[in-house]
Chain A
Amino acid sequence: MRFEELGMYPARVEKAVRESPAVVSLHLRSPLPREPSPGQFVMVWLPGKEEVPMSVSGWDGARLRISVAKMGETTSELQRVKKGEYLGVKGPLGRGFELGRGPYLLVGGGTGMAPLIFACRRLRERGERVKVLVGARTSSELLFVTEARRTGAEVEVTTEDGSSGEGGMVTDLLERELPKRPWKVLACGPEEMLVRVVEECVKRGRKVQVSLERYMRCGLGVCGSCVLDPVGWRVCTEGPVFEGRLLLRTDFGKFVRDPTGRRLPLPPGRRG
């Protein structure tokens, strides 16, 4: 890779779309050095504020889509940017999903649907069989359900409060679905959910790839802020997508790092 490819590329906002009360998608036109693939991320800079890692939720050959949930000051300001404004983008970065022959079962919790909707579209374009299990706390937090259906994928919905689809956890649906076919599983969502997804898949002998989220300072593989111990895997470089089985030997589900690099227990109830 050349150093210039790690530079900040101007990204003009062409469209801002509210996907749910909590999430806004931004369609960005940017001369990226490479085409993004599903599961990869970009570092998005809001000038005057911070730079934050964002999953790519779509790519139409010219425009990049990111889907922003309010996590803090920068993301909440990002939700308010208007058509015509400029952001900065570094990337695409990291290792995305390895996509082969299906059938594929996609399991998304909350905003974890962002990378999965991109994977869903790509798989459907290739004619693969895809089923998507979408979960959220409540119906207003469900993401990309209609869009997933439009790709021709089969979609099942679950909410914790039962306000839409089946009441319960998305992992309950997964348990029921796994034995039915030789699914290959892709998952993204709160880390506690991902741990259950991986455990279930390993138990059933199903291949599973998960996309992880960590505090990321540089996104380029140099600062070490997103490292999983004891193996020393950088979520920004060796990830953010990992083979689930390999993750079980790491900090996955157990530890995260704070901005100074200190290792701390994973906060309970952490959502993706």
Chain B
Amino acid sequence: MSRLTVKLGKLRLSNPTILASGLLSTGSLLCRALREGAGGVVTKSLTLERREGYSTPVVVGVKDGLVNAVGLTNPGGEEYLREELPLAKKGGGPVIVSVAGGKGEEFAEVASKAEEAGADAVELNLSCPHVRGHGLEIGRDPKLVREVVRRTKEVLSIPLFVKLGLSDRIVVSALSAEREGADGVVAINTLPAMVVDVYARRAILSNVTGGLSGPAIRPVALRCVYELYQNLSVPVIGCGGVEDWESAAEFILAGARAVQVGSAVATRGLRVFSEICKGLSNYLKREGIQNVDNLVGRLEG
């Protein structure tokens, strides 16, 4: 499987599959994901204060995807880093701590605590579509992106990734993040969405609107990754509907150096990581490619 090793700046992964933020969430489950073959894992997004999130229903399946509005549920950065991170680290692979917040100093404070607690990298969630002021509003404003990345970068020596959502200005925002020292850009987060029940005549999610993930958004995500790859020099990490080796390879060909896997955990279980790796490895062998790195962005024409 050495064909699959990748580097994201200073961060070395045994393979390019990473558990996306917001799923599985406990340290023990992140540990399991690593042991089941994930090349890295991202924690749920941590905030300074504990957040209960929204009441149920918080997630519902649709054709080819999930729509969720969990509400950044977490026990607070400090508690999580103390109780859960050590369990995650037992998995033996890189643990990337996702951080959410409303202001630059909030991101910086949780990020520096994460580094102290032993995180291998930090991912800034600048793309949550369903908590006002805590994501997408920041990620689509290049000025705010610059501010948040600069402040976080000041206090951090481990790699810093920035997760952006779909917006007209995703490339401009990503360039701002790169200029302020981000070590990579993750794209994309869920798309703003909703689901209606015709018998109840109600929106199903308690928050009414949420975010759509899964194969339904893959073509949109691919286009974003492709454009980011054309414009950035730091690594791009693709996210949005990766569920098997073919979909992972699509992202890599479009320019992703690694991929994040989220919703597919619900339909395929934790073995999704090893299945993707096995398929990718065979594909590389068949195509006579030495390392997955040599596939990044190699679209013909």
List A residues at the B interface (Cβ < 8 Å). 1-8, 10, 12, 43, 45, 47-48, 50-52, 86, 88, 90, 217-218, 220-225, 227-232, 234, 237, 258-263
A163 to chain B, nearest CB (A): 36
B73, CB-defined interface residue at 8 Å: yes
Interface residues of B in 17-62 (CB under 8 A from A): 23-29, 31-32, 44, 50-53, 55-62
User: Which of chain B's residues has its CB closest to A230's CB?
Assistant: B28
Contact B214–A232 (Cβ < 8 Å): no
List B residues at the A interface (Cβ < 8 Å). 23-29, 31-32, 44, 50-53, 55-66, 68, 70, 73-76, 79-80, 83, 87, 195, 197-200, 202, 204, 206, 214-215, 263, 265-269
Contact B267–A1 (Cβ < 8 Å): yes
* A259-B53, A261-B25 known; A8 vs B204 contact (CB < 8 Å): yes
A254 to chain B, nearest CB (A): 14
Contact A234–B29 (Cβ < 8 Å): yes
Q: How many angstroms from the CA of A6 to the CA of B70 in the assembled complex?
A: 16
User: Which of chain A's residues has its CB closest to B83's CB?
Assistant: A263
User: Which of chain B's residues has its CB closest to A258's CB?
Assistant: B75
Number of residue pairs spanning A and B whose beta carbons lie under 8 angstroms apart: 144
Given A4-B62, A218-B59, A223-B25, output 9 extra A-B contacts at Cβ < 8 Å: A2-B267, A3-B61, A7-B60, A51-B56, A88-B57, A217-B58, A218-B70, A220-B266, A223-B58
Q: Which residues of A contact B206 (CB under 8 A)?
A: 50
Contact B79–A221 (Cβ < 8 Å): no
Q: Which residues of B contact A231 (CB under 8 A)?
A: 28
Contact A261–B61 (Cβ < 8 Å): no
The contact sample of 16 A-B pairs, CB cut-off 8 A, is A2-B267, A3-B64, A3-B266, A43-B56, A45-B57, A45-B204, A47-B200, A48-B200, A50-B57, A217-B56, A218-B56, A218-B58, A222-B263, A224-B26, A260-B73, A261-B80
Q: In the complex, which of the residues A8, A48, A86, A262 contacts B60, with contact meaning CB atoms closer than 8 Å?
A: A8
Q: Which residues of A contact B65 (CB under 8 A)?
A: 3
Q: What 10 A-B pairs come out closest when comparing CB atoms?
A: A6-B61, A232-B28, A224-B25, A47-B200, A51-B56, A86-B199, A7-B61, A262-B75, A51-B57, A232-B32
Kindly name the residue among A43, A51, A223 whose own CB sees the greatest number of chain B CB atoms within 10 A. A223
Contact A222–B265 (Cβ < 8 Å): yes
Q: In the complex, which of the residues A8, A221, A227 contacts B266, with contact meaning CB atoms closer than 8 Å?
A: A221
Q: How many angstroms from the CA of A86 to the CA of B87 in the assembled complex?
A: 43
Contact B200–A86 (Cβ < 8 Å): yes
Q: Which residues of B contact A3 (CB under 8 A)?
A: 61-66, 214-215, 263, 266-267
Q: How many angstroms from the CA of A260 to the CA of B50 in the assembled complex?
A: 7
A265 to chain B, nearest CB (A): 14
Contact B32–A8 (Cβ < 8 Å): no
Q: How many angstroms from the CA of A48 to the CA of B29 in the assembled complex?
A: 32
Q: How many angstroms from the CA of A171 to the CA of B105 in the assembled complex?
A: 56
Q: Which residues of A contact B32 (CB under 8 A)?
A: 232
Q: Which residues of B contact A218 (CB under 8 A)?
A: 56, 58-59, 68, 70
Q: Which residues of B contact A260 (CB under 8 A)?
A: 50-53, 73-76
Q: How many angstroms from the CA of A48 to the CA of B25 in the assembled complex?
A: 27
Q: Which residues of A contact B75 (CB under 8 A)?
A: 258, 260-262
Q: In the complex, which of the residues A8, A224, A258, A261 contacts B57, with contact meaning CB atoms closer than 8 Å?
A: A8
Q: How many angstroms from the CA of A201 to the CA of B191 in the assembled complex?
A: 50
* A8-B57, A261-B25 known; A88 vs B204 contact (CB < 8 Å): yes
Contact B26–A47 (Cβ < 8 Å): no
Contact B197–A10 (Cβ < 8 Å): yes
Q: Which residues of A contact B51 (CB under 8 A)?
A: 260
